[in-house]
Structure 1
Amino acid sequence: MQTIFDGHNDLLLRLWNGEKAGRDPLKEFAAATGAAHIDLKKAAEGGLVGGFCAIYVPSGDFSFGKPDARGHFMTPAAAPIERAPSLEVTMAQMDIACRLDRAELLKICRTVDELEAAIEAGIFAAIAHIEGAEGIGADLSGLYTLYSAGLRSIGPVWSRNNVFGHGVPFAYPSSPDTGPGLTDAGRALVKACNEMGILIDLSHITEQGFWDVAKHSTAPLVATHSNVHAITPSARNLTDKQLAAIKESNGIVGLNFAVAFLREDGQERADTGITTMIRHIDHMVEQVGINGVALGSDFDGAMIPAEIGSSAGLQKLVAGLQSAGYAEADIKKICRENWFRVLRLTLR
């Protein structure tokens, strides 16, 4: 079985929602839980040994735009959200991660050495990630507390605007060049992340924001869960020019399993095949190189191919890569080693 380290999941969001409904997040993570994409049983079945666990503050009024007769859609950007309630949700989800860590169900890892040690010990190895930095003040207050708790990855924006920058909307077909990029506060956040050794995720930022980070960051460019715009022209996907910049920076892109970002027609249909996923990986490898391609599933946060189903089905993607002619050494890079390479270049 190929072991897999994944670049993005919404496990903490799911557990937080469950806790609000009266469920115990520790028991929910430890036991098989129906439609959930990740729990310890499913992860073990699929070879998932860890990943980036996102802290995400939902937009209460947000809903995806409905496709027209051609299958095209444009979702208006979610409204900005205020810092105080965002900080409360951010801390609540980080608290769940810390409780899982204390119970030795999960290990919040601060270095690659810690990742490797957790995996060797059979503990789910997590990189704590923030998807949309609304819980951090424009003066970066809160960042250092979160760092001390184990935060090692930040997406400055989700697909909405905040004090740090502008998020790319969900739209098909659409260029990712949908508006401005980083603000002055966003540039200060990038500088602080570089100094502290925090990875900067570009998956939800506008194209202009992508280029602003490329200009101001000294770290490899990373899109933890994005796909190929040349195949699926969604605003959330990366152009070949962006992929070339990721390659130039010695960075990485993680394949997003969300079907709307995989399918050429942009539709949200679970009958999307593994061959479609392989087609995106092939293009990424062609543009970025085999050392710059990984997985960023978006488990527990998106509709994924039914053929995969959950983290328990990850070896089906491995089999697809084998059938497509990928060498075992290259599959190992895509499944795990490339994330560790970039994290070694980024974390302190």
Structure 2
Amino acid sequence: MLYTPIKLRNLELKNRWVMSPMCMYSCENGMPNDFHFVHYGSRAQGGVGLIIIEATGVVPEGRITNKCMGIWNDDQADALSKIVKFVHENSASKIGIQLAHAGRKASTWNGKQISLEEGWETVAPSPIPYSEDERIPHELSVEEIKNLIKSFKEAAKRAIDAGFDVIEIHAAHGYLVHQFLSPLSNTRTDEYGGSFENRTRFLLEIVEAVNELLDENHPLFVRISGTEYAVNGWNIKDSVALAKILKEKSVDLIDVSSGGNIHGAKINLFDGYQVPLAEAVKKDAEIATGAVGLIKTARQAEEILQNNQADLIFVAREILRNPYLPVRGSFKNKDHCFFPHQYERAKP
């Protein structure tokens, strides 16, 4: 199954390998550069079915750090389009982008909040900092929330115009959308807080706005934290309930990660530790899912698919270590996988 195609809307991925979005902290003013061109281009040469560009800020204040990528202006989109063009012309990979806003976890470096002089004021659904030693974030007004929804839509429009195949909304890891979802970080009493329906409203309105732009050739993914590992926090039952709604809203796949919203949360890490979360969402919400989290080998990935625990395999650290993980994994059973024709003499 790992090397069988899958269609999402009308877009066909040649295999089930996905390069997971990973921040590279290498931009100036949100602009990608030669490093990003080589970084993403090399993974396309490695045979991955889909590349998803790192968390990309829809507004300057939405970046995690001042070295993170952005798509709040046309110059950034133009630079990204060169990467997209290379991937399309020199590989069988498709390429997507993760649209993001870091919320109260913005304006940081090496995991620590930087000064207002070096960074900027953070925003959140409620005036609750991520950790006690950080500044209290600005509580977003309803008007500001509406403007951010427009920013997500405008960013999606730039991404489509730049040639991206897939749009992913980042609603995980304690960033802004996740902050709205969780009752531990969202204590609002208006239409964006309180009940499950109200806490999910921000995400659903972003999804609806972005989907207005997407046709049958451009699938929509949403990355969520299946659980935040905290008592009375966002959990897998909430994730399943949300996934059922997202399916009705024409979301094509739920990319299931975990954690990130509660400072100091205890997480038991082991190979494939988040796969059961992807499996629960897939089976209980009856929607396609992506599994991510310490997936290191083709054999492990194949087992996940054979066990019907997920539909796509998102790989992060391992594909940094080995850009050619997909094509090398195909050699053993002689599965079909893109391999650059320039490298044919190296094929076993």
TM-score for the superposition, normalised by structure 2: 0.52
Q: Distance in 2 between matches of 1:284 and 1:316?
A: 18
Alignment of 1:225-236 (within 5 A): 226=257, 234=273
Higher strand share: 2
Show the 5 A alignment for 1:140-155: 140-150=149-159, 152-155=166-169
Q: State the structure with more CA Rg.
A: 2
Structure 2 vs 1, CA of residues 190 and 245 (structure 1 numbering), >3 Å: closer, same or farther? farther
Distance between the aligned counterparts of 1:122 and 1:8, measured in 2?
A: 14
1:238: which partner in 2? 277
Whether the aligned pair in 1 keeps the contact of 2:44 and 2:51 (CA below 8 Å) is: no
Provide, for residues 132-189 of structure 1, a one-character-per-residue CA deviation record: whole Å limited to 9, x for no partner. 57599521121231122016523342211635633699xxxxxxxxx96843323323
Please give the alpha-carbon distance, in whole angstroms, between the structure 1 residues aligned to 2:152 and 2:201.
16
| Partner residue, 1:282 | 303
Closer, same or farther: CA 91–217 of 1 in aligned 2, 3 Å: farther
Structure 2, unmatched stretches of 5+, are: 4-13, 104-122, 124-139, 161-165, 185-194, 228-235, 259-267, 340-348
| Contact 1:168–1:236 (CA under 8 A) maintained in structure 2 | no
Question: 2-side partners of 1:313 and 1:156: how far apart?
Answer: 25
Distance 1:98 1:310 in 2: 28
Higher share in helix: 1
Q: Distance in 2 between matches of 1:184 and 1:42?
A: 36
Q: What secondary structure, in the 3-state scheme, does the structure 1 residue paired with 2:171 have?
A: coil
Aligned length: 242
8 Å Cα contact 1:5-1:51 kept in structure 2: no
| Aligned pairs for 1:123-142 within 5 A | 125-131=94-100, 134=103, 138-139=145-146, 140-142=149-151
- AA matched with 1:285: Q
Other-structure match for 2:342: none
| Structure 2 residue 33 is matched with structure 1 residue 26 | yes
- Which whole-Å CA distance do the structure 1 matches of 2:224 and 2:88 have between them? 26
Counterparts of 1:35-50 in structure 2, within 5 Å, are 38-41=39-42, 43-44=44-45, 46-48=46-48
Q: How far apart are residue 9 of structure 1 and its match?
A: 3.5
Where in structure 2 are the equivalents of 1:49-128 lying within 5 Å? Answer: 51-56=51-56, 85-86=61-62, 92-94=69-71, 98-101=77-80, 104-107=82-85, 119-120=88-89, 125-128=94-97
**3-state SS, counterpart of residue 18 of structure 1:** coil
Per-residue deviation, 1:87: 6.3
CA shift at 1:53, angstroms? 1.2
Moved more, 91-100 or 187-196: 91-100
Distance 1:47 1:128 in 2: 18
1:192 is aligned to 209
- The 1-side partners of 2:278 and 2:80 are apart by 38
The alpha-carbon deviation at position 238 of structure 1 amounts to 1.4
Pair 1:106–1:100, CA change in 2 (3 A): farther
Query: SS state of the match for residue 242, structure 1?
Result: helix
Deviation at 1:30, TM superposition (A): 4.3
Aligned equivalent of 2:330: 318
Query: Does structure 2 retain, via aligned residues, the 8 Å contact 1:160–1:166?
Result: no
Stretches of structure 1 that go unaligned for 5 or more consecutive residues are: 32-37, 58-82, 109-117, 170-178, 263-272, 336-348
Change (3 A) 1:239 1:168: farther
Give the equivalent residue in structure 2 for 1:209.
239
Relative to structure 1, the CA distance from residue 87 to residue 328 in structure 2 (aligned partners, 3 Å threshold; closer, same or farther) is closer
Aligned to 2:174, the other structure's residue is in SS state: coil
Does 1:224 pair with 2:242? no
Q: 3-state SS of the aligned residue for 2:53?
A: strand
| Counterpart contact for 2:52–2:96, Cα < 8 Å | yes
Q: Describe the SS at the equivalent of 1:47.
A: coil
| 8 Å Cα contact 1:107/1:123 also seen in 2 | no
Code of the aligned partner of 1:93: G
Q: CA deviation at 1:121?
A: 5.8
Match of 1:60 in 2: none
Identity %: 7
**Residue 315 of structure 2 aligns with which residue?**
297
Tell me which amino acid in the other structure corresponds to 2:201: D
By how many angstroms is 1:86 displaced?
1.1
The residue identity in structure 2 corresponding to 1:128 is I
CA RMSD of aligned residues (A): 4.8
SS of the equivalent of 2:225 reads: coil
SS in 2 for 1:287: coil
The AA in structure 1 aligned to 2:85 is K
TM-score scaled to structure 1, two decimals? Answer: 0.52
Q: Which structure 2 residues correspond to residues 255-270 of structure 1 after superposition, within 5 A?
A: 255-256=291-292, 258-259=293-294, 262=295
